């Protein structure tokens, strides 16, 4: 069985957007903080996404049905606008 030389081995599970882990295999404090923040952001997104279906299920169902009638171009434009607003807000907050 062929093995990769030690100098070429790299454990991808210990990386976070280009930041290598510490020699003992743990994430750097900055990378660890980033993953915690990302997890919090995803949890908050799920909470916010669930508010409308929880409070107004019939209205939410009508909205989903009406989205089926919207063209792909319009959906893409709304998605692009949403992403740009999100990036702009992140820029202002940082």
For residue 14, name the pLDDT band (cuts at 50, 70, 90). Answer: very low
Q: How far apart are CA 11 and CA 22, in angstroms?
A: 11
Q: How large is the average pLDDT for residues 34-46?
A: 91
Three-class SS state of 19: strand
Report phi then psi at 89, rounded to 5: -65, -45
CB proximity list for 51: less than 8 A, separation 6 or greater? none
**Range with lowest mean pLDDT among 1-10, 33-42, 83-92:** 1-10
């Amino acid at each position: 069985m062929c093995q990769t030389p030690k100098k070429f081995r790299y454990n991808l599970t210990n990386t976070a957007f280009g930041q290598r882990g510490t020699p003992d295999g743990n994430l750097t404090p900055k990378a660890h903080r980033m993953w915690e923040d990302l997890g919090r952001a995803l949890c908050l997104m799920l909470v916010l996404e669930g508010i409308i279906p929880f409070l107004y299920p019939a209205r939410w169902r009508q909205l989903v049905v009406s989205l089926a009638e919207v063209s792909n171009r319009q959906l893409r434009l709304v998605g692009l606008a949403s992403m740009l607003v999100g990036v702009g807000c992140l820029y202002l907050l940082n």
